[in-house]
Amino acid sequence: MADRTPGRVRTVRQPSALRWPLRIAVVVYLVLLVVWPVAIVAVKTFERGTGAVLHALAQPEVVFAFELSAANAVWAVVINTVFGVGISLLLVRYEFPGRRALSALIDLPLSVSPVVVGLALLLVYSGRTGWFGPVLEGLGLQVIYAQPGMIMATAFVSLPLVIREVVPVLHEIGTEQEQAATSLGASPLQTFLRITLPAIRWALLYGVVLTLARSLGEFGAVNVVSGGVAMRTQTATLLVQERYNQFGADSTTAAYAASFVLALLAIVALVVVSSLRPKEHDR
């Protein structure tokens, strides 16, 4: 990589009259849209003191909701990591009819509304009316209004994140290292574990962090397939919505506290991701 490090080229730019107005416009826009609302959430959370927040977060429903969110997210990450790496290898290393179509299909979860995703899953897997659901239910596997459906919905919406990170890196590293490993006697599995995986590890980790963050925050699709029953199928985001719509200061505090934790987790994910970025380039 060292031979491709770009030189330090300094561009000389004419000072523009628009420079400061543009900067101010950007800052104002970001403050109004992102910083201020998130800050208000933080302020509202601690309006009644830290004790109330800790009390709200210690409620069994809240603890359960976060545990469920975390479990769903971890499952979605595991599924999307395994399939994401597999699909990425398929897309980059093999030529087959429909490859471009598959590549376009992978972006579908990004463009389709999560509510539609939830509805689609409902149509297929619903225990009573679904296309495939009654069969599974007969086998004792309830998908809709249960954890499997929530995991599927979460995995669906976060599907492209790992793939979109890994594919460019696979393109960049090319096939020569893998061929060299093969000619040195490595089996396909050895080649994957010792050559391909280390080469894509930063991109993969980045994709995993994004998937985790996206999964924790998932609301629409999970809302449709879960039913949102407290202590059974209510995730953290669903809990926020329910508590916010309830009357009473305790409910409101619980909603804000859960929101605050979700926002905090997202920020931690962002920090992790941006600390990974430079490493990827120094490699």
Partner 1 sequence: MSIRVSGVNKSFGDFAALTDIDLDLPSGQLTALLGPSGGGKSTLLRIIAGLELGDTGTVEIEGVDATRLPARKRNVGFVFQHYAAFRHMSVADNVGFGLRVRKRPKAEVRARTQEMLELVHLAQFADRLPAQLSGGQRQRMALARALAIEPSVLLLDEPFGALDAKVRKELRDWLRRLHDEVHVTTVFVTHDQEEALEVADRIVVINDGRVEQEGTPDELYDAPAGEFVMGFLGPVTTLAGHLVRPHDLEVETHTFPGAVAGEVARLTRVGFEVRLEVAVPEEPAPVLVTLTRADAARKELAEGTRVWVLPVPGASRVPVAGLAAARR
Binding stretches for partner 1 (CB under 8 A)? 1-2, 173, 176-177, 179-187, 190, 194-195, 198-199, 283
Smallest separation (angstroms) from partner 1 to the CB of 190: 5
The residues, any chain, with a CB within 8 Å of residue 126's CB and separated by 6 or more, are 133, 144
Rounded Cα–Cα distance for residues 62 and 235 (Å) = 9
Q: How many Cβ atoms are within 10 Å of 113's Cβ, its own excluded? A: 11
Instruction: Please report, as a single letter, which amino acid is at residue 119.
Output: L
For partner 1, give the closer residue by CB, 185 or 278.
185
> Judging by beta carbons within 10 Å of its beta carbon (0-12, 13-18, 19+), is residue 70 exposed, middle or buried?
middle
Smallest separation (angstroms) from partner 1 to the CB of 62: 43
For partner 1, give the closer residue by CB, 97 or 140.
97
For partner 1, give the closer residue by CB, 196 or 223.
196
Rounded Cα–Cα distance for residues 227 and 234 (Å) = 8
How far is residue 211 from each of residues 175, 216, 246, measured CA to CA in Å? 27, 9, 31
Smallest separation (angstroms) from partner 1 to the CB of 202: 10
Rounded Cα–Cα distance for residues 131 and 147 (Å) = 19
Rounded Cα–Cα distance for residues 51 and 275 (Å) = 33
Smallest separation (angstroms) from partner 1 to the CB of 201: 8
For partner 1, give the closer residue by CB, 129 or 175.
175
Smallest separation (angstroms) from partner 1 to the CB of 177: 5
For partner 1, give the closer residue by CB, 158 or 191.
191
Smallest separation (angstroms) from partner 1 to the CB of 81: 19
For partner 1, give the closer residue by CB, 178 or 218.
178
